[in-house]
Structure 1
Amino acid sequence: MITSETFQYQLQHVLVPLLRRWSRCYRLNIAPKDRVTAFVSQPFKPNHFLEIQIQYSSIYQEPQLTFRIWEIYTVDDVEYQRPCFPTDLSHWLNMQEFTVRLDYLHPSDRNVWYSVHGCDTAETVGSQLDHYLQRWASVYFTIFDFEFSRVFV
């Protein structure tokens, strides 16, 4: 578990710098203190990108990871984007043993997002607060890029 205050501090001072070093992350939106949204390219799916959001779950007292997959398409030379819901996420992501569900209703826009269930987060990353989000990202971001660990070099 991580406190909200520790999460907010590490989000800004640990996770945001890591995401800026991630070669597949081409844009970051940083909410005042408590949320970061990363826009991530999908090299093996060239007309798609990921919108990944990290925020604090006060219920679990852990980082909450949600994401959407977007498709980019063109009609009459105008580019559009629409949410994409693949039937088998394992063809898109490195699912491993993570529980991912299409069950998160975003509070601000009421759109549906995929959520990565954080039930075993404390056991996975340990309970020590130092570098908590760094350890968390090193595990959970392999869902999107199994080479994510390169940001630590």
Structure 2
Amino acid sequence: MTGRRSTHLPSQGAELGTAAPFFPQLGDLAADTTRKGQVGVVVALPGEDSATTYHLRPPGGGPAWSAPADGTTLRPVPAQATHATLLPSRDAVYDPRARQGSVPVEFHFEDGSTHEGALVLTSAELERLYAQISRLLTAHENAFGETS
């Protein structure tokens, strides 16, 4: 080892594997590792209204529970993807060496955010998708009497 930082690895602080602590706010969803990842809505913060711990309640209601004030057992709950759409500005590509196709897409999340990505398909998946899209186009043409 050279003692130099690797340019492709993010700085993670003093110890390898450490991450920034998660301090949820009121109304945030958090997964509690001491409760097998149970998700709860933060309903009270440490130091607020004489609370000394986080208080969480299941999103649909139910009994509340406490989590340590340092947030070490809480993890953020990422927004779930709802769908993906084709990126209009880029075209699909095929890599014959890898025998894979790549279709640029934009993922849409339930919180309204989006993220660009790619749908990577093997040769067999490309053929299956081709057959499915062909059926969709036929159904569209039959429904509207149009050709694309």
TM category, shorter: under 0.3
- Structure number with the higher helix fraction is 1
What TM-score, normalized by structure 1, do the two folds share? 0.23
Larger radius of gyration: 2
- Structure number with the bigger relative contact order (C-alpha 8 A, sep ≥ 6) is 1
Q: TM-score, normalised by structure 2?
A: 0.24
